[in-house]
């Protein structure tokens, strides 16, 4: 129990430090290198498997999977080249608008939902600030563009837990997620995308 409390305390200190660096440096200076996610830890009950982010980066760069990632893609009958394309795909968003949106009640609710699937290992209560930090710092580092890889590089803890049951639950409701994406893409916010 003591290790768990210490871990949460460490995560909170890192999140606070990343936030302070971001606020203090503003748009004038790029943020210094921060701790990034090194492993995605897939968890379901007692089952726990880690995939190094370096293997995901390798897949995105070369189109070839290695290690456990290669086995997972083979079992799931997924083409590594298709997954590599998804990992590299980026979305361009206005940093200021996204920052404001993530600090509204709607943004907070969205982060809470995502934070039930993805959160710092052993510190699920810190999911919202970790996600907010990774999205904003990822956009800043990418000069307004965010990909899965740049998100991982900006994530403020070394190990990101992915809850398999929560992920499967989300996948079963994929149609509602696509409706949400369509709502945002066809909304009046489109006119604000150019104003950083």
Looking at the predicted structure, is the pLDDT value of residue 168 above 90?
no
CA separation (Å) from 83 to 77, 95, 135, 165?
11, 26, 21, 21
End-to-end CA distance of the chain: 44
- Per-domain boundaries in the chain: 33-192
Tens digits of residue pLDDT in 100-132: 999 998 888 889 888 988 888 888 788 899 999
Cα–Cα distance, 46 to 133 (Å, whole number)? 29
Task: Decide which of 14 and 97 is more confident.
Answer: 97
User: pTM score, two decimals?
Assistant: 0.68
Percent of the residues in the chain that have a pLDDT greater than 90, as a whole number: 33
pLDDT band at 179 (very low <50, low <70, confident <90, very high): low
Q: Sign of the C-alpha dihedral, residues 115, 118, 124, 129?
A: negative
Q: Does residue 89 have a pLDDT over 70? A: yes
Return the percentage of the chain with pLDDT > 70, whole number.
68
Q: Which helix (H) or strand (E) holds 53?
A: helix 53-62
Question: Which of 20-24, 153-157, 166-170 is least confident?
Answer: 20-24
pLDDT tens for 9-39 read 554 445 444 443 333 333 333 444 456 888 8
Place of tokens 């460490």: 10
Q: Pick from 124, 100, 87, 95: which is nearest to 194 by CA? A: 95
Per-residue model confidence (pLDDT) at position 25:
36
Q: Is the pLDDT of residue 161 over 50?
A: yes
Give ∠ CA 184-37-57 in degrees, rounded to 5: 80
CA–CA distance, 20 with 32 (Å, rounded to integer):
12
């Amino acid at each position: 129990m003591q290790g768990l409390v210490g871990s949460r305390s460490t995560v909170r200190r890192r999140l606070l430090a990343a936030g302070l660096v971001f606020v203090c440096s503003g748009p004038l200076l790029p943020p210094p290198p921060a701790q990034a996610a090194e492993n995605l830890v897939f968890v379901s009950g007692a089952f726990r498997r880690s995939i190094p982010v370096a293997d995901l980066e390798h897949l995105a760069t070369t189109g070839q999977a290695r290690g456990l990632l290669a086995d997972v893609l083979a079992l799931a009958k997924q083409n590594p080249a298709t997954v590599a394309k998804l990992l590299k795909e980026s979305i361009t968003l206005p940093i200021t608008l996204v920052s404001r949106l993530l600090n509204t009640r709607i943004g907070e609710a969205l982060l809470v939902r995502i934070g039930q699937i993805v959160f710092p290992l052993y510190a699920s209560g810190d999911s919202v600030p970790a996600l907010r930090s990774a999205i904003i710092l990822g956009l800043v580092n990418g000069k307004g563009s965010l990909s899965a890889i740049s998100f991982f590089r900006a994530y403020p803890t070394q190990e990101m837990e992915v809850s398999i049951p929560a992920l499967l639950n989300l996948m079963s409701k994929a149609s509602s997620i696509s409706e949400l994406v369509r709502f945002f893409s066809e909304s009046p916010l489109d006119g604000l995308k150019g104003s950083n």
